[in-house]
Structures are given as structure tokens and as C-alpha cells.
Amino acid sequence: MESSCLNYSHVMKKPPILISSQRDKLLQRSTFSFPLQKKNSTKINYFHLNGDFGTLNGNSCVFPKCQAQTISNTFCAHPEIGNEGIGIVRFLQGKNFLITGATGFLGKVLIEKILRTNPDVGKFYIIIKAKDDEAAKERLINEIVDTELFQSLQEIHGKNYRDFMLEKIIPVLGDVRETGIGIKSEIAEKIAEEVDIIVNSAANTTFDERYDVALDINTLGPYRLMSFAKRMKQLKLFLHVSTAYVNGQRQGVISERPFCLGDTISSEIRSSNKDIPVLDIEAEIKLAFSSTTKDDASDVQEMKDLGLKRAKLYGWQDTYVFTKAMGEMVINSMRGEIPVVTIRPSVIESTFKEPFPGWMEGNRMMDPIVLYYGKGQLTGFLVDSCGVLDVVPADMVVNATIAAMAKHASCTDPGTHIYHVASSNVNPLVFNQLADIMFEHFSAFPYVDSTGQPIQVEPLKLFHDMSEFSNFILTDAMEKSAKIAGSVSKERVSDRLKALFMKLVERTKYLATIYEPYTFYGGRFDNANTEELIDEMSEEERENFQFDVESINWKDYIANVHIPGLRKHVMKGRGTNP
């Protein structure tokens, strides 16, 4: 919350604000209004009220003249000297986790961080899809234990590393697409007795996935997991990893607020709701699963088209974010007395610092653009040059997740708490800035072709109009095909080569269409809750669990951390001179 409390001499004759204490918080029990104008803002860490006068960070003050607004908030007491802040490390002691999506990019970073922070944590029961228990254990070893990400833990534990990991991480044969999440009854009972925290990070992140497939994982998966959570004997928190883009086509500054069943973005942004049907999740599931589900190409495309059509009808960009939003609705409607934290990161990219800078796995959202540009295969793209790409490093997402987990699992509040972990509102990365950084990097450190010659890149051309972009890539493709054919005449290019490049052109246009809602996105994700979380942390916690996105220097991160990490960990050094 922001206030303009300091340096005011005007005393407002208003009734005192009612405050009561509860645990470590000062709770405002009544709402109040500030009239008129506003001056300099100071973030409140703590205050004490005495009638109209208050104490803000040790300074006497009175309430200011502010813009007309009504404020109703919870004010956290300032940590006393020696206070450990949220108490993250202490909280982790002995805690047992059930994690879905643990073999994924973010899940692995989360496990590594917790094990490195507090080796006295309890156990991680991780759901792994496999044919049998032995295959599940093999996936654990190959995809987690033996990976480069865990090298710091390998150095810490030495020859005892593997024993430590296999003691802490228990592979559980299961699948969020199955009833009871596919867990055998005996291990299900053990998990129900022991687990303190559920972390749901399983997701299908393909923008244009088949509607039935996306619903099964992103919407029904949370339903099945929350149903399983109801069996837990000592569950303290259900933590759900979502995406900031569940906010769909909302514009401007977007607040951190939960979804309720039936909410639609279309009903918020359109002046008339008469043509917008009510969102019924059960009906959407029936629609998807009653439609054709054959695996031939035409039926697969029909299911993809259905997902995109339904998403856009209700105000979401694509099938991915639509089904993730419905997953949030399901969790919120089912939770009952179970505390829920929803982490909404924006575009998650390589690690900022931990366990080492630049680690990543697979191609994230902006990475195909970076790689194809560096290889000379992409010379232009459809994007708002002044628009913002909302990026956040993976380790910052994980640190925010752990901090939120520690805060809310230690409370008795059964509410839903939303955290945007995003940069667009406080430290935006503009697309033309990204294009400049890529050009500078690949000019200084070019890829090399199959003959060992450096690939020269030109500044990336940014197009605001699809027709101009289509004409450009068509001309560019034909020129490349002519060059490959060894002819300067486009007419002499073989029909087969023309067909190949036309197919590439159509694919590029399709990808540009899929990306367009993000490359022209007008929303900015407010992260007030996340910033408040930082304020509640001790200095030591802020240093060890850093997630202040304002601290990121984008040029340094993209050029010196992210692209080198992409070339090393994803490309495995291919196209780079020894």
C-alpha cells in the first residue's frame, strides 16, 4: 500500500481508524477514505495510530490529502530487531512436500533451492508418469539427480550426494490425468499422513494445444489434485503455479485478484454482455471430450481450433491460458478451509543467479526468436516495437514461491492469495530494446555455419502489420531459396524448393499469429502483493531469496546471462567456435 504520510503539517479531523492485533499483524478493522490530492509516496513498513496521528517508520505524521479512494488493507507489523522476517529457513525444517511437475524446468529449480537452503527439510514426494516404479526411479535419476542443475549440491555432499538425494526425493508413480492422480493406495495413505505442502506445477504450456488435452491437465488436473488434498491429515497449504497471462485480454495495470467460477474476461471488457454465454466449466469439458478425438492430422487440428475458438469467445488469448484460468477457478471453488497460494509468473526464463546464472532447459517463449535470429534464419518478426515482453528469471519465481509458501503455511487464514511475479509494471523490457541487445550480442559473438564461417546478422526488422510482415517473409524466403539453388533468378528455383519455403512461410505466419496476443499485449501485471512480501522479509532473507525484479539490468541479463545460457544449455555449444 502507498501513503503520502510524511512531511505533512495539516491535521485532518477524522475518526480514529480501528486497529486490532492478531499474531504478528496489525489488522485494520474498518475502511476509510482519503479525499483530494496526493504528494510524495512512502511505502509503509509499519505504523501505529493514535487518533488522527500516526507513526510511520519511526516518524510522527498525520494522514494526508490523497486522491479520492477507499483503502481496506492488512498492515504487517514491522519486524523487531533480531526478527527473522518471514522465517523461511525455519519454516522449511522437516516439512514434507507433494509436487507435481517436479521433472519440469521450474519444479527442478524449486527442489534444488529448498535442498540447498535447508538440507533438514523432510521429503519430496514427486509424481512421475512412468510405466512402473523402476521406470519412475530411473526418470528421477536421469532428469533430476544426475543433471547439471544440481552440481552445487553434488559439491556440498560429495560422495554422499546420491544417497542424500534418494533419501529426500521419493518418486511416486502417478498421473494428474487419472482419478486419485493415479497413485497406489498404500503410498497414497502415507502421503496423506505426512505431507504438509502440495505444490502443483504440472501444466501443458502449448498455446494451441488440443482442447481436450489442455483441459485434462490444466483444468481437471487441479480438480483431481485438490480432491486428493481433501484427504490430507496435516496439510498446511495448497500452492498452485499458474501464469500471469490467465488475465487474458485485460488491459492496463492488472491487479492480483482470484477468479471465481463463471468469471470471464469478455464480460469485463465488453460494454454489453448479451452476446457472451455464461462460462460453464463442466459444459466445456463435455464439449471437448464429446468432440472427435482421433489422432489423424485433420481431427487434431479441429481440436486445436476448438480450444482457440472457445478461449477467444470468453476473452482469453489461447487454449493454454484459458484452461489455466479455469484451473484456478476450480481450485478456488473447491478449497474449503485449505489455504491456497497461487503464483502467477510471466514468461519464465533462465536463472538470474542461482544455483548459477543462465541455467535453463528447453526453449521458452522468447528463445526460438533469439535462436533463429542468431542463426540468420529470422530477419523480421510481428511485434509492437514499443510493447513490453514480460520476463522473469526462474530462480526469482522460485524464491517468491518459497517466501509465499512460508508466509501463508504458517498462518491459519484459509483464504486465496495471489502473487504476480512479473516485471512489466516495475521494470519493463521493451521489444525494440530486446532486438538491439540481440543484434549487439550476435554481432560480437556470432554463430558459425557448417563450414565454420561466422553468420552475419542484420538488425531485426519489427513489423506492426501482418500483411507487411507476410510480404517480407515471403520475399525473404524466395531470395534464400534462390540463393540455395545457386541462382540469382527466382524463376529458376525448383518447384520442390519453392514448396518447402512456402511451407516455412506459412508456419512462420501461424507462429506469429499465435504469438501476436503476447507481442502486442497491453496489460501490465501489478505486483503489489509480491512487493509486500519482500517488505516482510529480513535483510538476510532478501539476500538469500532474491526476487526483486526491479534489480534486473536487462541488457546485462539478456546479453551476458540468458543468451550465453541458451547457447550452452539448450544448444549444447553447437554453432559456437571452440
Q: Which domains does the chain have, with CATH numbers?
A: 2-76 (no CATH), 88-346+390-425+526-547 (3.40.50.720), 362-389+428-525+548-578 (no CATH)
pLDDT tens figures, 331-381: 999 999 999 999 999 999 999 999 999 999 987 788 988 998 999 888 999
Cα–Cα distance for residue pair 219/283, rounded to 1 Å:
13
Note the pLDDT tens digit of each residue in 497-524: 777 777 778 878 887 888 899 999 999 9
List the strands of the sheet with 237-241, edge to edge.
Answer: 169-173, 124-128, 97-100, 197-200, 237-241, 340-345, 416-421
At 97, list the grid cell. Answer: 512436500
Q: Would residue 557 show up in a list of annotated catalytic residues for this protein? A: no
* In the block, residue with C-alpha cell 523480421: 380
Based on the residue annotation, tell me whether 324 is a catalytic residue of this protein.
Answer: yes
Which residues, 6+ apart, have CB-to-CB distance to 74 below 8 Å?
25, 27, 28
Query: Which tens digits make up the pLDDT trace of 240-296?
Result: 999 999 999 999 999 999 999 999 999 998 766 667 789 999 999 999 999 766 677
Q: What does 509-559 look like in DSSP terms, one character per residue?
A: HHHHHHHHHHHT--EEE--HHHHHHHHHS-HHHHHHS---GGG--HHHIII
Which one from 223, 245, 320, 447 is the annotated catalytic residue?
320
Is 15 in contact with 52 (CB distance < 8 Å)?
no
Contact 109, 399 (CB under 8 A): no
- Please check whether residue 258 is in contact with residue 332, taking contact to mean a CB–CB distance below 8 angstroms: yes
pTM summary value: 0.83
User: What's the mean pLDDT when you consider all of the chain?
Assistant: 84
Strand partners, 462: 381
From the list 95, 324, 373, 407, the catalytic residue is 324
**CA atoms within a 13 Å half-sphere pointing along the CA-CB vector of 309:** 10
Per-residue pLDDT reduced to its tens digit, 439-498: 999 999 999 988 889 999 999 999 999 999 989 988 888 787 777 666 545 555 567 777
